[in-house]
Amino acid sequence: MSLFKSLAVKPWERKGIIGGLRPEGAFDTSPEKVGLSYFLVIASVVFSLFMVSYVIRMELPDWQPLSEPGQLWANTLLLILSSVLFQWTRNIVSSDKPRNLMTAFFGAGLFAILFIAGQLMTWGNLQEGGFYLTSNPANAFYYLLTGLHAVHLLGGLWVWSKGAIRLLSGAEAKDLRLSVELCTLYWHFLLVVWLILFAFLANT
Amino acid sequence: MAYVPLADQDKEMEMHHPHSWVEKYVWSQDHKVIAIQYGSIAVFTGIIGLTLSVLFRLQLGFPESVDFIDPNFYYQAVTMHGMIMVVYFLTALFLGGFGNYMIPLMCGARDMVFPFMNMLSVWTFLLSVIILMASFFVGGGPTGAGWTLYPPQTAMEGTPGHDMGIVLMLISLAVFIVATTMGGLNYAVTVLQYRCRGLTMMRLPLTVWGIFVATILALFAFPALLVAAIMMLFDTLLGTSFFMPAVIEAGAPLDHNGGSPLLFQHLFWFFGHPEVYIVALPAFGLVSDVLSTHARKNIFGYRMMVWAIIAIGGLSFIVWAHHMYVSGMHPYFGFFFATTTLIIAVPTALKVYNWVLTLWEGDIRLNAPMYFAIGFIFTFIHGGLTGLFLGNVVIDLPLSDTYFVIAHFHMVMGVSPILVLFAAIYHWYPLMSGRMFHEGLAKAHFWLTFLGAYAIYLPMHYLGFLGVPRRYYQIGATDFIPASAQDLNASITIAAIFVAVAQLLFFVNIIWSLKYGKKAEKNPWGSASLEWQTPDLPPKHGNWGDELPTVYRWAYDYSVPGAHEDFIPQNTPETVEPTVDEEHFDPDQDASKADI
């Protein structure tokens, strides 16, 4: 039943059991995925508001645009690889005969760690070039946005590391299925956020 | 994965049954215990907020009569009072307290979807309160920048708590947002996924609707505060200039340059206005259920009430700049925000009409919860009408920053939701404790609070018309404010002390009744909603015994024509007993009544 139809029913007229075992209107998925989606909306709002603030602050006269480091292209590739490997992991745990699970799962985490290391290197290079946090609001936003994105990825890596420990302790693919599905969704989300941020930073 | 009711899963694994006292009452994952923990922390913080208000009222009523209330202390007390009451008291008590207690019970669930995260939420909330309270003990004390924390004032040396005070406040807010996010995630997913069999969204009591939509508002509003808090922390600690403009302080320029204080105001109020509704919507829901139960009538216009909750929630995001009419905005923006502000009054007024019409020809039982609920209708109409004044740019400009504003928002989002809180606590006290409270004491508490609140805030409207400015430590002598304004201020302070002391009646009542109150019989108010239909009173861990309930009807089947009793619980199947005397029941007439 559509949202509008649901809201238009007259509950005082409808008696009896409605919706069978599953409550009518509930999503046909696990509560964990609904919970993660809820969190992703919050994270999207946070990033959107930072970007709106960026645009407003950009209009003020002291703004000096920052030339984004070329290394960001390489970092972006690392994050794409991480996301692709997570998708592969997801396919593996969903299949009947899981193969290469270790390679895909640990590869996904490794590329994410390399992405964060790459982002830290851009910070170091910018510092060396005299582009400090306080010297211009454009710099401050660069550190803030990339840092915030990295913090989100670190949160994901914490969940990944719990899965890694379980995998090393001999857990089977089906035991990791939910965890991998959630991580994959989260990684794809962070990739999209990063692509938008990168395009945004590069074009302003 | 298809939905499986919790009762059908491995109960031992899912329910986290406590094995020790500590697991049961401290590290509890039971939503009811967590609700009480949330509520207790919020009330404790609220008492501190109340005490601070009495202290600064002493200064306003009887200037310089108390030695330690100097201008710095005054501003710190005002700031902490505002932030505590709005965020750490009202938001936490409505969402963390009532959200936790009511949602699983009203949804027919055993617990929240993520009980461990729920437990983390309450302890994170406690951490945020500890961080906030720590600011009283650091050098410079808590911030005194006003609860809106506007830059650049927050960071200026003349503002008390400009160093550690503001930092602790911002960190505390960020931690609070983490806590509410964990809680909100639970509330929303539980409402969406864990409703019991037969419980459609449109069969939910309005309490759940109010809390659910408030949670969705928090999803969009709190990030704005988080973003503002992070950028202000950067400005304060790391020397960036997101918000801080170039300022000359005591003849020397500060390190900041070019920041936009207006950007902070936009972010703050993009959070701040929906925050009003994050508090108000749960209150609307709770009061609807109290009114309907004690009027023995179905809530008037249930669907409109749901639509109004959703409409108010949506509109609350496009009215924020009515808090900023004096910030120098373009007149067209002012026009836009004045229009949206007036539009939001439409669904709000609709709710008020429906509450009044629920009472119309009801079999009203005038007990203590009903006193508070009806009292709320008075104060809310009062505060709502003054909101229409302030929503208009031309009227707001002269009244801005006067006591009229203080009177307005205290009536509409201070006194009103607090009256609902009392109504709700008295109403659900038998469910939570298994005991009845002392009715006479509760009614005395109502009259003292209700009349006392009017004695405080009604004169403030007049002070506002006189032009008495808010935020001033002392009015002093002016040409336009008569000396008698000070007499009014003194009377307000006396009333405030009176009301504050009167709250002792409430605490004495609920603590005394825990042990000596009459044992509550099952469903003492004859309520139709699900939370009263548990096998035990108060409900035990897991709420529903061996089997989850099944719902056959909405939550407002009161005084159904021909029914044997004047209420039919939601989980009563139609086939168990004839609920309607068919000889005297005309379905057409009944349906036409319901459509009115």
Please give the sequence-ordered ranges of beta strands (E in DSSP) within B266-315, or none if there are none. Answer: none
Nearest Cα residue to B424 out of B33, B91, B88, B94: B94
Residue B436's CB is within 10 A of a number of other CB atoms, namely: 17
**In the prediction, which pLDDT does B475 show?**
86
Nearest Cα residue to B572 out of B563, B583, B581: B563
**In the prediction, which pLDDT does A99 show?**
85
For chain A, the residue count is 204
**In the prediction, which pLDDT does B16 show?**
64
Contact criterion met (CB below 8 Å) for B362 and B319: no
Q: Inspect the interface and report whether the beta carbons of A35 and B259 lie closer than 8 Å.
A: no
List all residues 6 or more positions away from B331 whose beta carbon is below 8 Å from its beta carbon: B393
**In the prediction, which pLDDT does B9 show?**
47
Nearest to B239 among A11, A26, A134 (CB): A134
Tokens of B154: 């927050």
List all residues 6 or more positions away from B53 whose beta carbon is below 8 Å from its beta carbon: B77, B81, B496, B500
B304 to chain A, minimum CA–CA distance in Å?
Answer: 10
Distance of alpha carbon B91 from alpha carbon B85, whole angstroms: 8
B178 to chain A, minimum CA–CA distance in Å?
Answer: 11
Is the bond preceding residue B538 a cis peptide, omega within 30 degrees? yes
Report the C-alpha dihedral over residues A167, A172, A176, A181, rounded to 10 degrees. Answer: 120
B135 to chain A, minimum CA–CA distance in Å?
Answer: 26
Chain A residues lying within 8 Å of B240, measured CB to CB: 133-134, 137, 140
Nearest to B260 among A22, A46, A60 (CB): A60
Nearest Cα residue to B457 out of B408, B419, B503: B408
Query: Which positions 75-134 of A are in contact with B (Cβ < 8 Å)?
Result: 133-134
Q: Inspect the interface and report whether the beta carbons of A6 and B220 lie closer than 8 Å.
A: no
3.30.1330.30, 3.30.56.10, 1.20.120.80, 3.30.70.260: which CATH number matches A31-202? Answer: 1.20.120.80
Residue owning tokens 């309520």: B527
**In the prediction, which pLDDT does B13 show?**
43
| ipTM of this complex | 0.94
B198 to chain A, minimum CA–CA distance in Å?
Answer: 5
Nearest to A26 among B192, B302, B552 (CB): B192
Nearest to B553 among A15, A34, A57 (CB): A15
B589 to chain A, minimum CA–CA distance in Å?
Answer: 13
Contact criterion met (CB below 8 Å) for B423 and B373: yes
Q: Inspect the interface and report whether the beta carbons of B303 and A7 lie closer than 8 Å.
A: yes
Contact criterion met (CB below 8 Å) for B544 and B108: yes
Residue owning tokens 């710190």: B76
In chain B, which residue's Cα lies nearest the Cα of A63? Answer: B258
Chain B residues lying within 8 Å of A45, measured CB to CB: 219-220, 223-224
Nearest to A19 among B198, B302, B556 (CB): B198
Chain A residues lying within 8 Å of B552, measured CB to CB: 15-17
pLDDT single digits (tens) B87-143: 999 999 999 999 999 999 999 999 999 999 999 999 999 999 999 999 999 999 999
Nearest Cα residue to B470 out of B400, B415, B423: B400
Which helix (H) or strand (E) segment holds residue B253: the answer is strand B252-253
Query: Which positions 276-295 of B are in contact with A (Cβ < 8 Å)?
Result: none
pLDDT single digits (tens) A150-193: 999 999 999 999 999 999 998 888 889 999 999 999 999 999 99
> Partners of B248 in the beta sheet?
B253
Tokens of B252: 């020397």
Q: Inspect the interface and report whether the beta carbons of B267 and A49 lie closer than 8 Å.
A: yes
Chain A residues lying within 8 Å of B193, measured CB to CB: 23, 26-27, 31, 34
Mapping DSSP to helix (H, G, I), strand (E, B) and coil, where does residue B550 land?
A: strand
Q: Output the average pLDDT for chain A.
A: 92
* B261-295 helix and B206-233 helix, angle to the nearest 10 degrees: 160
B21 to chain A, minimum CA–CA distance in Å?
Answer: 29
Contact criterion met (CB below 8 Å) for B144 and B76: yes
Inform me whether the C-beta atom of residue A8 falls under 8 Å from chain B C-beta atoms. yes
In chain A, which residue's Cα lies nearest the Cα of B8? Answer: A21
DSSP single-letter state for residue B469: B
A49 to chain B, minimum CA–CA distance in Å?
Answer: 7
B352 to chain A, minimum CA–CA distance in Å?
Answer: 20
List all residues 6 or more positions away from B10 whose beta carbon is below 8 Å from its beta carbon: none
**Spans of chain B, pLDDT less than 50:** 1-4, 7-13, 577-583, 585, 587, 589-596
List all residues 6 or more positions away from B390 whose beta carbon is below 8 Å from its beta carbon: B322, B396, B399, B400, B404, B405, B408
Q: Inspect the interface and report whether the beta carbons of B554 and A12 lie closer than 8 Å.
A: yes
Distance of alpha carbon B396 from alpha carbon B391, whole angstroms: 7
Q: Inspect the interface and report whether the beta carbons of A13 and B594 lie closer than 8 Å.
A: yes
The string of DSSP letters for B71-119 reads HHHHHHHHHHHHHIIIIIIIIIIIIIIIIHHHHHHHTT-SS-S-HHHHH
Q: Inspect the interface and report whether the beta carbons of A42 and B219 lie closer than 8 Å.
A: yes
Contact criterion met (CB below 8 Å) for A85 and A104: yes
Tokens of A41: 């909306």
Q: Inspect the interface and report whether the beta carbons of A31 and B267 lie closer than 8 Å.
A: no
| Positive/negative CA dihedral, B445, B447, B448, B449 | positive
List all residues 6 or more positions away from B488 whose beta carbon is below 8 Å from its beta carbon: B459, B462, B463
Provide the H-helix boundaries in B194-260.
206-233
Query: Which positions 148-207 of B are in contact with A (Cβ < 8 Å)?
Result: 181, 184-185, 188-189, 192-203
Contact criterion met (CB below 8 Å) for B572 and B588: no
Tokens of B389: 């004044």
Contact criterion met (CB below 8 Å) for B308 and B376: no
Distance of alpha carbon B405 from alpha carbon B470, whole angstroms: 8
Q: Inspect the interface and report whether the beta carbons of A6 and B201 lie closer than 8 Å.
A: yes
The string of DSSP letters for chain A reads --HHHHHH--TTT--S--SSSSPTT--SS-HHHHHHHHHHHHHHHHHHHHHHHHHHHHTSTT-------THHHHHHHHHHHHHHHHHHHHHHHHSSS--SHHHHHHHHHHHHHHHHHHHHHHHHHHHHTT--TTT-HHHHHHHHHHHHHHHHHHHHHHHHHHHHHHHHTT--HHHHHHHHHHHHHHHHHHHHHHHHHHHHHHT-
Domain edges within chain A: 31-202
